[in-house]
Amino acid sequence: MTVPTGRRERKKAATRQKIADTALRLFLERGYDEVGIRDVAAEADVAVTTLFSHFASKEALVFERDDDFEQRLTRAVTDRAPDEPLVPALRREIHAMVLHCTADGSAPIYRMIDESRALREYEESMRLRHAESLATALVADPGLPQSATACRTLARFVIDAYALARDAADPQGAVDEIFTMVEAAWAAA
Amino acid sequence: MTVPTGRRERKKAATRQKIADTALRLFLERGYDEVGIRDVAAEADVAVTTLFSHFASKEALVFERDDDFEQRLTRAVTDRAPDEPLVPALRREIHAMVLHCTADGSAPIYRMIDESRALREYEESMRLRHAESLATALVADPGLPQSATACRTLARFVIDAYALARDAADPQGAVDEIFTMVEAAWAAA
DNA sequence: AACGTAACACTAACGGTTAGTGTTTTGGAA
DNA sequence: TTCCAAAACACTAACCGTTAGTGTTACGTT
């Protein structure tokens, strides 16, 4: 078990990165639906099978780094101060996530996502996964008196807040407005 | 513009029905993922292209009649008595829908859906469509003082209630529990 | 130096979906 | 009745994402 360094792992990471960079560049240049997997593989100078050993699907090339989101949400629950109320902690995290993906740097990427049905559907199914892992974290929290159904409901409402805010004219304002509703729902549970 | 009946339309409907019936039978016999489009087309004695002129995708063969759901939800909003409060009307409708799809007759179909990733994802993206059309109906209702964002949020919450209740141990009870939360959220908006 | 394995390559295919190109059927107009 | 335009259907061939099968390097380990 030699620890981190190792030429092999560096090469693997480099290949993965090269594929992701090439894919994103081509997608932004020509449009997601106009670029085939074979195009990406050829331009990145790897075999198609190599590409699929690094990424599970064509869509995954776009959402390369979004396991982060999943972890950040569950950690907003598990790592919060013992006396910090739950919903505001979640609201803070959603605020940060919305801010991140409405930033100027991310704008072209999210425009591309909106333009492709395949990417929109993939993103939504990703969010479902996030909701489920958030739900698991909530159900497991011994400090919450609410029922499991209420926890699962809250998880979906929080993910809805993210999705709705991203499409709103004023994303940050929408987060606050929706969280007023979420807070009331959670209090009633 | 001669009105409805006409041999052509009857034949078309018959072809469509034969395809749907054949598909559902094969899927239940052998499993959704084990049956190819070419199998369905051959068994229904039509060309593959004909099949796709009646159904937009393989998954659509399973959810043949689910435009109804979409209409029922929007009509629960638009057709309710002038003085009937909104959320209870929606709750009644969700109750009915959950009851329908947990009935004995539908059980094998929904078991099949749960077993196939492709079908689960398709169903979820269908629900998104339903949420959007419900949101449109809500936003258009002049009797509602709430903001457009609040309306869209309610729409998603209602669809969540359906999805969560279907997976719950006690679906009918879950609908009531979740709608307590939805009611509170709507009141806070 | 030699071995085991992870990364990668290549070919070929599978399954859903569509384009292109007819052919038949049918409802309605002349 | 006859004829036309459109709709429904068929057929071939292909596209595209994805995977299986089968090697071939390149690296870390012993």
Average pLDDT score over residue span A39-66: 95
Q: Do A160 and B157 touch (CB under 8 A)?
A: yes
Set of chain B residues whose Cβ sits within 8 Å of the Cβ of A178: 149, 153
- Measure the CA–CA gap between B181 and A182, rounded to whole angstroms: 8
Q: Is the pLDDT reported for residue A4 higher than 70?
A: no
Q: Do B153 and A147 touch (CB under 8 A)?
A: no
Set of chain B residues whose Cβ sits within 8 Å of the Cβ of A164: 149, 152-153, 156
Set of chain A residues whose Cβ sits within 8 Å of the Cβ of B168: 149
Asked if the domains at A7-56 and A64-188 fall in one CATH topology, the answer is no
Quote the pLDDT of residue A1: 44
- Measure the CA–CA gap between A43 and A10, rounded to whole angstroms: 21
Which one of A160, A184, A188 has the shortest CB-CB distance to B156?
A: A160
Which nucleotide has its C1' atom closest to residue B58's CA? C16
Domain ranges of chain A: 7-56, 64-188
Size of interface A-B (CB pairs under 8 A): 81
Quote the pLDDT of residue A64: 87
- Whole-model pTM above 0.95? no
Average pLDDT score over residue span A54-66: 93
Residue-level pLDDT, tens digit, chain B, 189 residues: 434 467 778 889 999 999 999 999 999 999 999 999 999 999 999 999 999 999 999 999 999 887 788 999 999 999 999 889 999 999 999 999 999 989 988 999 999 999 999 999 999 999 999 999 999 999 999 999 999 999 999 999 999 999 999 999 999 999 999 999 999 999 999
Task: Give the CA-to-C1' distance from A164 to D19 in angstroms.
Answer: 36
B33 beta carbon < 7 A from strand D? no
Name the minimum distance, in Å, from the CA of A146 to any CA of chain B: 11
Quote the pLDDT of residue B9: 84
Mean pLDDT, all residues of chain A = 94
- The protein residues having a beta carbon less than 7 Å from any atom of strand C are A 8-9, 11-12, 15-16, 45-50, 53-54; B 2, 6-8, 11, 35-38, 48-49, 52, 56-59
Task: Give the CA-to-C1' distance from A40 to D25 in angstroms.
Answer: 23
Which one of A147, A157, A186 has the shortest CB-CB distance to B160?
A: A157
Report the CATH fold assignment for B7-56: Arc Repressor Mutant, subunit A (1.10.10)
Task: Report residue B74 as tokens.
Answer: 């929007």
**Nearest-by-CA chain B residue for A132:** B164
3-state secondary structure B70-109: HHHHHHHHHCCCCCCCHHHHHHHHHHHHHHHHHCHHHHHH
- Measure the CA–CA gap between A158 and A139, rounded to whole angstroms: 15
- Measure the CA–CA gap between B66 and B116, rounded to whole angstroms: 18
- CATH code for the structural domain at B64-188: 1.10.357
